[in-house]
Amino acid sequence: MLSLHLIQDILSCPLNTPFHVYYRLAISTLLTFWLGQLSLSSAYGRNPLNVHPERLQKARDLEQQALASKNTKQLAEAYYQYGRTYVFAGNYLASQGYFLKSLRLLEPFGDSFELSRIYVRLGENESRSGRLPDAFRYARRSVAVAHRARSLRGLGLGYGLLSSLHQSKSDSWMHGDRVAYDSIMYYQRKKGAIYRSLNDTLGIAECSLELGTLYTKVKDDRAIPLIREAYDLMILVHRDRLLANVLLRLAEAYLAFDRFQLAHQALLEAEQRYLANEMDDYDVVMGLEQAFVLYYQATGQWEDAFVHQQKANKLAIDQLLSDRNGTIARLNVEYETRKKEALLDAQKRELALRTQTLETQRWLTIAITVLLVLAVGAGFTFFRLNRRNQRISRRNEQLVKEQNHRVKNNLQVISSLLNLQAKRLADEAARTAVEESQLRVQSMAILHRRLYDGDRLAEANLDEFIRELVEGVLRTYGSPPVQPDYNIDPIYLSADQAVPVGLILNELTTNACKYAFPGNDHPTFQVDCYLRSNRIHIRVTDNGPGFDQGSEVGRTRPGSVVLKKESFGMTLIKAQVNQLRGTYQFDPNQPTGTLFTMEFKI
């Protein structure tokens, strides 16, 4: 094995020496193997990848309290604390798992600062793992949630993450890319304004630190005063555990401006504060090792630079192993915990079921005795009332059938009259209007038959009604062979809601026959209807050329049909949706065809 003195001689060769080039590459290649064999004692008293026991115990205590009190929000906070604990240890995979568990518990409660904060932590982990698109997605969600929750602190965290992500996206801002630089500064200014409005000393200190770090990277001489200001503010609010990171940033600034002596003093003080506070922060200790490497390289102390580079590489390897081992251990713990919880729940349910069964049997005996007494007294009365009700029911049934028959005949007469009138009209527009009115009458006739001939009186089976209505319109127009596609949940509607739905579908099917199917070799027509949370959602699509509601959209697509906003069909659809107290829209962004969506409360 090469001796350390030989390595120092090689690294101290001039950069244009071939001997230095080849041997330095060889040393870099062998470093990974050497580090796997070395068992270096940590300069910080213990392995910095160990999870901090106090933080971990705090999260466990909070989790036990939440489980005992069945407090979902408290349990979400416990998972958040677990995630932060593993972040400090550099185990980002384990921390991401806990953050996601916290997210699943918080989302049902709606927008809040805590939900916005979880999105920030998820985005930070994605950024550390190099998945910037996912990180940006989480950052934007955080800002949106904070806006809706009116949480200034949540906005501050979200803007800070967006600024950091824009720095990671590309290093062009460090080389004169003004657009990228302005994007970073935009979010930094917004974050700073928020914390100043809150008069949050710690937040202002963090903003000064981040801005100073940013100026360090572009070698702006404002960097050092800003970081020193952050240091003074941290001292003011007694946040001693944060000072090691501030001093590390100050050392990096001194190195950027070749003030090596001050940089070394700042690094030594940062290391001293790290040890004094018994910190376990992977980012800080890795930053210290890397900063020491830069300092010793800049001052030509290659042996010390090599030692600190070894430590930095070992930290990186330990971090990867920690991700793997921590995930396996966490899964084992979760499995055992869930198994025990399931066993306890089963025992509790069995005990509760036995108690409930005994209580039910006792009350059932009493109830049966009382009912037998009442049944003997009321049986004769019910018998007489039943015979009377049967006579009334038969009479009512005859009346309903007669009424139904008359209504159907009247609707058929109206449809026939409209048909005769349409044949006598010479004006094509007038004939079309009469034919469309005939289809509307037919849709009401179909609805009437479904309302009073089905199993449920005065309620229509939406599936059967929609199928018969659509296929009736298609037969009337004699359209090309079209096999409509239906995806309809089993839903029953009252007459007050079924009539508007029928008229709307009649208009949409008629429009498809007039504009979508002619000249279309493979016409399609699809109706989707489903019930979600007491709201009915209806989607109607075709693959025609599409259309634009002229005055609403303001532009047209090539080949599309322009329908006026004030046309009778559009007015009718709007009126029927208003009657349902629902909402609707025609999607103008469809590449082809027409997409109509509507929803209303059942």
Q: What is the mean pLDDT of residues 144-155?
A: 93
Take residue 159 and report the two structure tokens written for it: 């803007």
* Alpha-carbon span 306 to 114, nearest angstrom: 43
The answer on pLDDT for 44 being more than 50 is no
Does residue 446 contact residue 475 with C-beta atoms inside 8 Å? no
Q: What is the mean pLDDT of residues 574-600?
A: 88
Q: What is the mean pLDDT of residues 397-408?
A: 68
pLDDT, one tens digit per residue, over 65-87 is 999 999 999 999 999 999 988 88
pLDDT, one tens digit per residue, over 435-483 is 777 777 877 777 777 676 666 667 888 899 899 889 888 888 876 778 8
pTM, full prediction: 0.44
Q: Whose structure tokens read 């952050």?
A: 230
Strand partners, 585: 597
* Alpha-carbon span 161 to 168, nearest angstrom: 10
The answer on pLDDT for 434 being more than 80 is no
Does residue 102 contact residue 108 with C-beta atoms inside 8 Å? no
Burial of 127 (0-12, 13-18, 19+ CB in 10 A): buried
The answer on pLDDT for 564 being more than 60 is no
Take residue 134 and report the two structure tokens written for it: 């996912």
DSSP 480: S
Q: Considering the chain, what is the average pLDDT of its residues?
A: 79
Residue 92's pLDDT is 84
Burial of 336 (0-12, 13-18, 19+ CB in 10 A): exposed
Measuring CA to CA, which residue among 282, 51, 2 is closest to residue 60? 51
Does residue 245 contact residue 284 with C-beta atoms inside 8 Å? yes
Domain residue extents for the chain:
1-39, 459-601
Which CATH code for domain 459-601?
3.30.565.10
DSSP 427: -
Radius of gyration of the chain (CA): 37
The answer on pLDDT for 28 being more than 50 is no
What are the distances in angstroms from CA 573 to CA 398, 441, 495, 499, 569?
36, 15, 17, 12, 6
